[in-house]
């Protein structure tokens, strides 16, 4: 909400958020997406193509990655079931993945942040969560100077996304529901 407020009042030219919130003078566009993976200790009981039903919620390190992720999570585990630990940031997940049975779900950007920990690994889930989508938000009515700066920034952003193997640029087809 803070980022939306800064863009709404023109204190910031652009913002990046992971969920859409409707504001009358803000335009949002999806910029990139990241796939989500199971992360755990290498000596744990987990494996590639892991079925969600085999993941015990009492061993989960939970982070609410957004409303789409929460819906996916609630389809696989009862909303009344409790995770071992709930955290607020991806960077704190690693601290609590200290037992072989503990597990979490995170995007590749977090997996790369914690990749220096050689005791951890990641696997694809049989029924993965929806990708994490990053949205760019901007004021619907930028000043001329803001628009010029935004245009330059967009060029740099597109180049960065094209060179980053962990994220993929967003395309309209990605918003279509699966059949």
| Segment 92-137, tens digit of pLDDT | 998 999 999 999 999 988 998 888 878 999 999 999 999 998 899 9
pTM of the model: 0.80
**Based on the domain organization, do 90 and 162 belong to the same domain?**
no
Report the distance separating Cα 60 and Cα 79, nearest Å. 13
Sign for the pseudo-dihedral over CA of 11, 12, 13, 14 = negative
What's the total number of domains in the chain?
Answer: 2
Mean pLDDT within 18-24: 84
Q: Which of 99, 123, 147 is the last residue of a domain?
A: 123
Is there a single domain that holds both residue 162 and residue 140? yes
Same domain for 140 and 102: no
User: Is 129 part of any domain?
Assistant: no
Alpha-carbon span 105 to 116, nearest angstrom: 18
Give the largest CA-CA distance in the chain: 57
Which range of residues forms the domain containing residue 104? 36-123
CATH number, domain with residue 47: 3.40.190.10
Say whether both 119 and 72 belong to one domain.
yes
Partnered with residue 122 across adjacent β-strands are: 39
| 143, two tokens | 């000043």
Give the pair of three-digit tokens for residue 79. Answer: 């909303």
């Amino acid at each position: 909400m803070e980022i939306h407020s800064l863009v709404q009042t023109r204190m910031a030219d652009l913002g990046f958020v992971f969920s859409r919130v409707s504001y009358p003078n803000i335009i949002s566009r999806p910029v990139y997406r990241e796939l989500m993976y199971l992360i755990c200790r290498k000596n744990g009981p987990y494996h590639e193509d892991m079925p969600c039903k085999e993941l015990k919620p009492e061993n989960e390190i939970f982070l609410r990655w957004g409303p789409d992720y929460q819906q996916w999570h609630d389809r696989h585990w009862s909303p009344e079931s409790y995770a071992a630990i709930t955290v607020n940031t991806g960077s704190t997940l690693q601290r609590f993945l200290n037992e072989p049975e503990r597990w979490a779900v995170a995007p590749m950007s977090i997996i790369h942040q914690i990749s220096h920990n050689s005791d951890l690994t990641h696997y694809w889930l049989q029924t993965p969560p929806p990708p994490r989508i990053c949205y760019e938000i901007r004021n619907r009515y930028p000043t001329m100077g803001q628009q010029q700066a935004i245009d330059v920034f967009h060029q740099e952003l597109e180049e960065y996304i094209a060179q980053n193997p962990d994220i993929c640029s967003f395309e309209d087809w990605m918003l279509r529901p699966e059949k």
